[in-house]
Amino acid sequence: MRPNILRTVFFCMATILYAAGAGSSSFAQNTSAQPLKFNKTSHKFGKIAISEGPQKCTFEFTNTGNKPVVINNIITSCGCTEPVWPKAPIMPGKSGTIEVTYLNNQGPYPFDKSLTVYTSASSKPIILRISGVAYEKEKSFKELFPVRIGPLGIKNNRLRLGQIEQGDSKSQTVTVANLSGKKVSLAFTSASSGLSLKADPETIAPDGLSEIVYTVNTASGQNWGNTVYTVWPVCNGIKSETPLEIECMILERTSHLSKAEKASGPMVLAKNSSVNPGTVSKEKPLAAEFHLRNTGAKDLIIHKADVNVPEMKVTYPQSVRPGEEFTVSAVVNPSGYKGEQVFTITLITNSPMRPLVNLFIIADIK
């Protein structure tokens, strides 16, 4: 195997492993049993110059419950965000603050950072957010928000929401700018089932900003794996030609299971997770087989097989009994590819320990 192919496979696997572990900081907020009540859960810095250095803000909270609450940890989505919080228990009726410093050292770009607050009072974290637009030198909104949506600009119209467990909902925000010289009233239409959006403010002043909160509720349908939701913005009553696309990875709901339940569930063991036929002709279909086994104690369900190229077709069983071996077959039409290629298959399963199973076809196409 050539060195650059090794690097490609390592990058693919590292990206997938990162995605598998990165969802903890972006759970949808559920504070119904959370006694810590905040005066706000988001802070907007607006436009700030990089030369201004670190920026600070404060989130105030009160313990409205009848028991002491400890803030166990705060996980940030970026090392550029530093929180400071009280380490002593917050007694009933008492208040406190979380002081957040945005280091402002990430370069000129619109930023939206999350802070996931874990407390002793609830298994569900509290999500705080900071956002703004940092610039090195004063740039126009057209430069900061290069993708047009009618009179509005956005950094990118394809938004990534990360992982969501089936049946759960998840929210994030994105900033848009009014690039016109007039007020813009923003609404949305033709949203995919399960997708909802709200703009704040809904009427955007000239050269003003608005934050769109977009929420995907997976309970609205049985989607699995890589799923793209779409919606069309409506500006001053005119439907945009460019939709917003929200991409997420929907997985089996397993977070409610105990360690024992997870350990006793289905499990996938791959005898071979990669196939390398070497140099192949682009004139002939490229076929590969992967041999796997369900080593767990319950039936393995394969909900879906995601692929990284549309020219690949995959065949797999939908259900595998405990102890049974099974085969995943793939055929790729390589006519549109040249040189060293890595084709990826991602099985979406009901295994609590291995919900994503990644298989690779590595070939040098001539």
pLDDT, one tens digit per residue, over 138-177 is 667 788 899 999 999 999 999 998 899 999 999 999 999 9
At 6 the pLDDT is 40
Least confident of 10-24, 52-66, 80-94, 243-257: 10-24
pLDDT for 144? 82
Query: Which residues, 6 or more positions from 268, have their beta carbon under 8 angstroms from its beta carbon?
Result: 292, 293, 294, 295, 300, 347, 349, 351, 354, 357
Whether 74 has a pLDDT exceeding 90, the answer reads yes
Phi and psi torsions of 196, nearest 5°: -130, 150
What does the DSSP 8-state code read for residue 266? -
Short-list 335, 359, 209, CA closest to 280: 335
Helices (H) and strands (E) in the chain, counts: 3, 28
| 208-239 residue pLDDT tens | 999 999 999 999 888 999 999 999 999 999 99
- Answer whether CATH 2.60.40.10 is correct for domain 140-251: yes
Contact 131, 90 (CB under 8 A): no
28 confidence band (pLDDT: 50, 70, 90): very low
Tens digits of residue pLDDT in 83-118: 999 999 999 999 999 999 999 988 888 899 999 999
The pLDDT, as a whole number, for residue 304 is 96
Tell me, yes or no, if the two domains 3-17+257-365 and 140-251 fold the same way.
yes
Mean pLDDT, the chain, whole residue set: 88
Burial of 276 (0-12, 13-18, 19+ CB in 10 A): middle
pLDDT in tens, 185-194: 999 999 999 9
- pLDDT recorded at residue 220: 84
In this prediction, residue 106 carries a pLDDT of 84
pLDDT digits (tens, 9 = 90+) for 325-339: 999 999 999 999 999
pLDDT tens column, 52-72: 999 999 999 999 999 999 999
φ, ψ for residue 4, nearest 5 deg: -70, -30
Mapping DSSP to helix (H, G, I), strand (E, B) and coil, where does residue 207 land?
A: coil
User: Does the structure show a pLDDT above 60 at 358?
Assistant: yes
Superfamily name and number for 31-138: Immunoglobulins (2.60.40.10)
What confidence category does residue 16 fall into, taking pLDDT thresholds of 50, 70 and 90?
very low
Residue 258: predicted pLDDT: 92
DSSP 8-state assignment for residue 191: P
> CA dist 356 to 47, 146, 250, 330, Å?
40, 34, 11, 17
State the pLDDT at residue 137: 72
pLDDT at 138: 66
Above 50 in pLDDT, residue 1?
A: no
Distance CA 111, CA 102 (A): 10
Residues paired with 113 in a beta bridge: 130
Which superfamily does CATH assign the domain made up of 3-17+257-365 to?
Immunoglobulins (2.60.40.10)
What is the per-residue pLDDT for 141?
77
* pLDDT above 70 coverage of the chain, percent: 90
- Give the pLDDT score at 294: 98
Domain boundaries defined on the chain: 3-17+257-365, 31-138, 140-251
